[in-house]
Structure formats: structure tokens, C-alpha cells
Amino acid sequence: MQNNLTKLYRKTQMYSAGSGRQVEISILEMAAGKLRACLGKDEELGYDSGIDEALKFNQKVWDVFCADWSSESSSLEEDVRTSLLSLGLFVKKRTFTMLAQPTRAGVLVIIELNDNLIQGLKGQAGAEQGSH
């Protein structure tokens, strides 16, 4: 699956920034949606294959983003790259914790990070479209 995500993400680099951003947004929305679908009413989610798969999928998405952000060819400014990579490390740590003992609150933190990145990408895509 990692290879497929990497290929999909890399394909976005061939398109204009706007359509590439839309693919990034869609992938993050898919990951957040998978996590949301696993949330129940209980604080303790317990282990099941659904939450396991959703967490692993989300982590793979973030791994692909982090690989891009750490690349020398990244167009992001150094301080932005550093901040995003720090978030990526946080997501990895949180994911490992949630894989061992998933909680509603812990998964909600990951979903919130995805949602925040989605909003940032939407803002960036809008700013890029406005500058054309």
C-alpha cells in the first residue's frame, strides 16, 4: 500500500499546484474519514481490524507527505518544512500509541491534525488560484 500511496502522491507533482493540492486534500480526507468511521461512543475503542487499518493507512499518508517535505527538492520554506516534519513525527508517535491502546480522544487528535492540514492546503490552493 505504501508504494501505491507514494505513486499516487508523486503523480500529483506532474499536475498544476491546484490539482495536486486537491489530490493531497482528497487523500487526507479519505484518511480522516476512515478514522472517523471507527469512532464509537466509548472512550476506549479496543483493538479491531478497522481501527488498525485506518491508523496504518493514515500513517502511510503522513509518511509520504514527510518524505516529500524532507526532500531537497521541496519547494517549502525551511521553517515550514521543519514544522510539518515535527507534526509528522507527532502523528507517528500518536499512531503507535493508538495502535497499542486506541482511545476516542487519541484518534480525535489525529483526525484534528488531518483536518488542520486539509484547511491549510485548501487555503494554499485558493491563494494559488487567486494569483493566476
Phi/psi of residue 11, each to 5°?
A: -60, -35
Stated length of the chain: 132
Q: Average per-residue pLDDT in the chain?
A: 82
This prediction's pTM: 0.77
Domain limits of the chain? 17-121
Question: In this model, does residue 13 exceed pLDDT 90?
Answer: no
Q: Contacts for 96-104 with beta carbons within 8 Å, 24 or more apart?
A: 98/51, 98/55, 99/52, 99/55, 99/56, 101/44, 102/44, 102/45, 102/46, 102/47, 102/51, 102/55, 103/43, 103/44, 103/45, 104/39, 104/40, 104/42, 104/43, 104/44, 104/45
Summarize pLDDT for 26-52 with one digit per residue, the tens. 999 999 999 999 986 666 676 788 999
Cell of 102: 486506541
